[in-house]
Amino acid sequence: MNSAASNSLRKLRLPAYLAAAFLFAYPVIDTFIPALPVHAGLPQWRYALTLAMAGTIVNPLLAMLILLGVAIASDDRIGTIVVSSLSVVSTLVLLGTTVTFTLDAIQLHGVVNPVVTSRYTGMSIWILVRIALAMVTMGIISVVAIGTLRRQATTAAQSNGRNSMLVGTRRPGVEPELTAPDARTARMSAP
């Protein structure tokens, strides 16, 4: 990347990270504040919270994609670590949410008025699909972020002179080891 593009990217990195953080945190906070006080033992409360969360699930996905894109483009290892950590945790949370929502929907199905049962079932399936798609997408972001971390680590190691494939090359500041021949080598070379 040329110097002007690199400089422009450094200027864009902080506002992009801040915007992505806001895009990630806003729907999470906006979903949980109205759900207070917490009644985690009630399936109705969990079901309603999941419904509210499913309505804003796209924003955190976009935030993670922005964070990953900026981290990769600017070769920001710390940003990539943050994205990979957040995306793995988010994937696991969405997996738990999928399981919990499915069980809650089944449990509440018997309480629903028979007149709206088909609408309840259809809405529950649609919410489940949305959460499952978000989980898969977040999982893909996790895999890409972790793969990027590995490539960044390999590139950093190679730029430091380790893992050099060229024979006879020296790393700066490292002197070659001079070893004394062992007894076996001495016997083999003796006439």
SS (H, E, C) 157-169: HHHCCCCCCCCCC
pLDDT (tens digit, 9 = 90+) per residue, 57-87? Answer: 999 999 999 999 998 888 888 989 999 999 9
Residue 183 lies in a domain: no
The model's pTM: 0.74
CA 61 to chain centre: 10
- 8-state DSSP, 7: H
Domain enclosing residue 43, as ranges: 3-159
Residue 191 lies in a domain: no
Residue 12 lies in a domain: yes
For the chain, the domain total comes to 1
Q: How confident is the model at residue 180, as a pLDDT?
A: 54
Return the C-alpha torsion angle 92, 27, 29, 88, nearest 10: 20
